[in-house]
Amino acid sequence: MRNIKYGIDTDTGLVWSRMGSQVAVPVLQYDQMTSQNNFQPTYKLEKMNVIHTAAYNCVRWTRKIPTAIKNLHRTFWGLRPLGKKK
């Protein structure tokens, strides 16, 4: 069974997710922040090994994450979004 754990970065408020030994971390896409979109920040999820985040202890793991954000992470990990039938 594939389980996802969700965490909130207490420094930035961004949501991380973990599946097995991999962590999905939101990375700011600076090149997409332009005057045309009023410098709106855009993030892309990137995988990294959980060992690389061991020294980073500012993540509070929780289940209390909005469903829309959970679905972004579930899609990233290749899982079916919550509330969708097969």
Asked whether residue 15 is assigned to any structural domain, the reply reads yes
Q: How many domains does the chain have?
A: 1
pLDDT for position 85: 67
As averages over each run of 10 residues, the pLDDT of the chain (86 residues) reads: 88 92 92 89 92 79 92 94 78
pLDDT for position 1: 57
pTM: 0.82
pLDDT for position 24: 94
- CB burial of 1-29 (b: ≥16 within 10 Å; e: otherwise) equals eeebebbbeeeeebbbbbbeeebbbbeee
Asked whether residue 10 is assigned to any structural domain, the reply reads yes
15 beta partners: 8
18 beta partners: 5, 23
Asked whether residue 22 is assigned to any structural domain, the reply reads yes
Asked whether residue 83 is assigned to any structural domain, the reply reads no
